[in-house]
Structure 1
Amino acid sequence: MKKRKTSRLILAIVLVFILSGCVSHIKELREAQREFNQAARLENQLRLNPLNPDALTIKGQADASYLLTLKIINRLLDSEKDALVRDNLIGTAYTLKALAEWRLKRYSDAMRTVSLVTEKYGKGLFPRDRAIIVAIKGLIMNDQAYMHMIKKDYGYERILNLLKASINSIKEAIAITPAEHDLILYLRLSELAVLKNWKDLRGEPEYRALRPEGFVPGAELKRWCAVAVPVWERFTKEVKTTGGADAERIRN
């Protein structure tokens, strides 16, 4: 029987924005959020069960919802930007846009969105949006590192540099996330996904050809542990102090 590999990509984030009001731009922003969350749930369902016989259909449905999210947000930014700025929702709109671009693997678009919202609206972002915007760069770098591991078109150190930069970016996002916010647990899990990539890169036989001449497994294990141990300790501490069903599922 073929061994099923643990997914090394970060799970899609499901967002909860408190959007009150019945005016058109807020209703459309809520619609974009619903589509994004539907896509994220479908994608996570597939990630947790990659052997699902309906995998192609589920992936297509998820991508369609991400695309619809982008369509709604782009329409809002074209026609309702002033209203979004007035209601302090412009950062939320750009956050959804960047996240949808990330999930669709439009990495350059996502980074342009991150740069734009940071430069023009960074000071007015909600704390959660600010943390997500900071994290996106790291989430993208992990995906890129994994892609290069699969393609085997980058050497070991080049991939490792992406993974280390990914962890640093996620760590920076955690530092500015409000205490006890659900986003922290998601970001802690994201750190573990990055470390799983590094673990496989340094230890799995399929990546042996990527390792440099003179590679010392024991020394690399120590280098990995120096990063992994504190990340794991922070994660377990977060789980112990986090309430709700998600934390219970992780504990069990």
Structure 2
Amino acid sequence: MTDVPPFAQAPRHVRTVAYPHVLVLIDYRTGHVQCLLPKAAAHWQEAARSGRLTTMPPPLAAHLIRTGALSPTREPTPWGAPLPAPTPPASWGGAEHPAGLTRVVGPFSATAAAALATTWSITRVGRRKHAMNRLIKALEASSSATCRPASSTEASEAVLAVRRTAWHAPMRTACLEESAAATFLLATRRLSVVWCHGIAADPVRLHAWVQTVDGDLVAEPPSTRAYTPALTIGARHQHRL
């Protein structure tokens, strides 16, 4: 039998989202993602209510501790329930997204490259396993220095400027880098948006995007609403780790 401590808790940097068929765990210090099927998810939920690992199968408890999803404690310390997520509609393996090059001119076109370079530096300079944590800390810092919410037009101009610049960049630019760079770009003008990182299911997938402080999607297709935000940074939606 695997030896495990009797008590544990989920660290604050581990966020969970519960779908009817899977529980998704994201470690925002390492970026590690793992999924628990219904039986294992039920054990997680029971342990969350009591702070005790005595009812969890020892191999599962040992795995969760080894991967950092749980941390041993000296006494029972219950932790919060996962974020609930709706049953996902059938995706049939694909979704429609607008694509294509757009000519972007505006106040952010000249500085988008610098925002992208900043994002790449944050994620690539230092230990790779801590890249997500460094990016989140940088996003929190930039958000704290803003003075007013960006309008929908300002936010859209920033996102599109980053997107246009990324087409010609030599480095990987996916939704994580794009959304972070747009947030940094707006922060140079003391403008705030809400940076979001979320999960969708069937299949389980991650996405990062930007929205206004009023909750409007910025340069995103309506299908982004299928993602349940696990972490948001910015304005009054700030959820610090």
TM surpasses 0.5: no
Structure 1 length normalisation: TM-score? 0.23
Structure 2 length normalisation: TM-score? 0.23
Larger relative contact order, structure 1 or 2 (CA cutoff 8 Å, min sep 6): 2
**Greater fraction helix:** 1
